[in-house]
Amino acid sequence: MIFVTGGTGLLGTHMLIELAQSKDSIRAIYRSERKREAVRSLFNYYIPDIAESYFNRIEWIKSDILDLIELRKAMQGANQIYHCAALVSFHNDDFYNLIKINREGTANIVNLALNLDRCKLCYVSSTAAIGGDNGEHISEASKWKNSPTTSGYSISKYSAEKEVWRGIEEGLNAVIVNPCVILGAGNWNESSLTIFRTLKSEVSFYPPGSNAVVDARDVSEIMVKLMNSDISAERYLCIGSNQSFQVLMTEIAKQLGVTMPNRPVKRYMVEIARRILGFTALFTSQKPEITAETVHSLFSNKSYDASKIKKTLDFKFRDLSEMVENGIKGRQA
């Protein structure tokens, strides 16, 4: 039996679509009925002719990775665990929740997995847990550093990954994947897909930094291949394309048929916007969309080395154009 956490998230949904096309029984935990129905919608997008029958192969259990008693029940009988659940936030106010969900939730999964017979775990970490400096070609060997600009999210994912390594030391069969920014079909109001919504409204400016993106379908396929192999106690960067934000935003705007951003934004302009949004947030229930951490990332230049996973699995990632095309065609309301 395959057990999946975070199955209603961007990557988790694609993971379930990948897994449902096998003959294995699948159990997934969820918290929101609305998000579970969104998963059904993506099944209809990717595999329309067989969507309903494949979606119904999943045994859904309402549970939470912080509820140890219910989680133990849900994990009974699992021989493969895909741990995709996580909180992604760059707000200082969310630091406690980030540690609680990402580190302690992962510790719960690891501890319970250690008590299961012949069970293998695939943990979805992040490039945020890898480290690496500006201008460096970052690999799995790059050392993570806690600096004044390190986000709470990065700390929580690094701490969560340490829980997995601790489990491996105690005999757990596990692998770790470290994806960058994930693109895929889904809701443009959530996660990294908000970049499509932003560019749909037409923007003139682009940040001067760079990062990497990867297709959710590629990460899902890699995870399945790793879990069905003899590979253990390894971690792999999942990087589809390294490029500047200008190139990424231009490609999205081009495929959306809107005006392409053509002017680099100045840091002081973003800092002013951050402070205005922060002040406005004092009078609303919403958190500001721009934080000090996001400003830092927009002006950083990060480049990652995916050669390890490419060589291990002889894997070829989808290119940027195909990622963007799928993200636009698979838009959900």
**CATH number (domain holding residue 60):** 3.40.50.720
3-state secondary structure of 31: coil
Residue 8 lies in a domain: yes
Q: Supply the DSSP string of 197-265, one letter for each residue.
A: HHHHT--SEE-S-EEEEEEHHHHHHHHHHHHTSS--SEEEEE-SEEEEHHHHHHHHHHHHTSPPP-EEP
pLDDT at 284: 60
pLDDT at 283: 54
Burial of 328 (0-12, 13-18, 19+ CB in 10 A): middle
The widest CA-to-CA distance across the chain, in whole angstroms, is 57
3-state secondary structure of 282: coil
3-state secondary structure of 8: coil
pLDDT at 172: 97
Q: Which residues contact 257 (CB under 8 A, 6 or more apart)?
A: none
Residue 266 lies in a domain: no
Query: Token pair of 238, please?
Result: 């999942």
pLDDT at 11: 97
Cα 104 from Cα 236, distance rounded (Å) = 22
Q: Which residues contact 174 (CB under 8 A, 6 or more apart)?
A: 110, 113, 120, 121, 122, 123, 164, 167, 168, 232, 233
Domain hosting residue 174, numbered range: 2-187+212-242+303-323
pLDDT at 293: 79
Residue 333 lies in a domain: no
**pTM over 0.85, yes/no:** yes
pLDDT at 227: 97
Q: Where are the alpha helices (DSSP H) in the chain?
A: 10-20, 33-46, 51-55, 68-75, 95-98, 105-113, 152-169, 194-200, 216-227, 245-256, 267-281, 292-298, 307-313, 320-329
**pLDDT mean by block of 10 residues, the chain; 333 residues:** 96 96 90 92 94 94 93 94 95 93 97 95 96 83 88 96 97 97 94 92 90 97 97 97 95 95 84 62 62 79 95 97 96 77
Residue 273 lies in a domain: no
Residue 117 lies in a domain: yes
Type of residue numbered 206: Y
3-state secondary structure of 183: strand
Cα 241 from Cα 237, distance rounded (Å) = 12
Residue 249 lies in a domain: no
Burial of 143 (0-12, 13-18, 19+ CB in 10 A): exposed
Type of residue numbered 77: G
3-state secondary structure of 177: strand
Residue 274 lies in a domain: no
Kindly state the helix (H) or strand (E) to which residue 58 belongs, with its residue range.
Answer: strand 58-62
Number of domains, the chain: 1
Residue 196 lies in a domain: no
Q: Which residues contact 324 (CB under 8 A, 6 or more apart)?
A: 183, 251, 252, 255
